[in-house]
Amino acid sequence: MNKESKNNIQRRSFFKRISFGLTGTAILSSLPYKVFSKTNKERKKIKVNIHSSAIKRNK
């Protein structure tokens, strides 16, 4: 292989890697993360009742 064709192959692989990286970043950024975070807020909070005859502990 001469120097020009080797340089062309390296350049081609570089741009291929860059394009795959940018495509992956675009796909990951378009995922709806907020949809999953809203499910935690929609859950009802557990209401805790302290038993009246329980021993109180102070630290």
At 17 the pLDDT is 93
Cα(10)–Cα(7) distance, integer angstroms: 5
In whole angstroms, give the CA distance from residue 11 to residue 18. 11
**DSSP class per residue in 10-51:** HHHHHHHHHHHHHHHHHHHHTS-HHHHHHHHHHSPPPPP---
The pLDDT, as a whole number, for residue 43 is: 63
| Model pLDDT, residue 37 | 59
| pLDDT at site 58 | 82
Distances (CA, A) of 33 to 4, 9, 23, 29: 46, 38, 18, 9
Domain layout of the chain by residue ranges: 3-32
pLDDT of 35: 60
pLDDT, tens digit only, all 59 positions of the chain: 577 777 777 888 999 999 999 999 988 888 776 666 555 555 667 788 888 888 888 87
